[in-house]
Every structure is written in structure tokens, then in C-alpha cells.
Amino acid sequence: MNTVILACSADPPAALRKFREKLKLNFPLLSDPDFRVIEAYGARRMKSFLGKSFLGIVRSSVLIGPDGRIEHVWEKAPAKGHASQVFERLRQRNS
């Protein structure tokens, strides 16, 4: 599908390395402790839990086309089953 997959997290590199090994991921995980990339894509915003508001990271996926433009954004992307949603979008784009 001629696609590059990257993941971004505020976690430190050592934690991401362990996570990548544990889940046997075959794509890079970017450590962004200063939230520069995370904020650039709008994934850091106010959240609420148990009646309290806080600034947090919303699990999101962004599909960037070959021309560098954003083609699709999945906000609040679920961990389970989300890869198939992205794959389907890629399949549609490439057909």
C-alpha cells in the first residue's frame, strides 16, 4: 500500500521501546514529551474524568496523503479494531 506508519506519544523513549517490544510493533514510536507534534495535530486538549477537567491526549489517527496533506482524521480512535478502519480507508484510496 506504499504507506508509512508512525505513532506518537508523550512517553519517554525507554518506555516506548518496552511497549514496542511487548506488542511486537514493526513501526517507529516517536517520543514527544514536549507535546510539539501532539499539539500540532490537535490531539492534546481538555478532557474530563469523574467530574474533573484536565489537559490530556486524545487517541487520534491522522492519514496524510502522498502530497503531505491531511486526508482523514479519526478522533478518539479506539485501540481495538481501529487498524481495520485505517486499512479500509487506505484500500478505498488506493483502488
Task: List per-residue pLDDT tens for the chain, 95 residues long.
Answer: 678 889 999 999 999 999 999 999 999 999 999 999 999 999 999 999 999 999 999 999 999 988 889 999 998 888 888 889 999 999 998 88
Does residue 2 lie within any of the structural domains?
no
Does residue 53 lie within any of the structural domains?
yes
Residue 25 domain boundaries = 7-94
Q: Report which of 84, 64, 47 is spatially closest to residue 4, judged by C-alpha positions.
A: 64
pTM for the predicted model, two decimal places: 0.78
**How many domains in the chain?**
1
Residue 93, φ and ψ in degrees, nearest 5: -65, -35
**What is the sign, positive or negative, of the torsion defined by CA atoms of 20, 81, 4, 74?**
negative
| Contact status, residue 61 vs residue 86, Cβ threshold 8 Å | yes
Query: On the CB side of 76, how many CA atoms lie within 13 Å of its CA?
Result: 3
CATH value at residue 55: 3.40.30.10
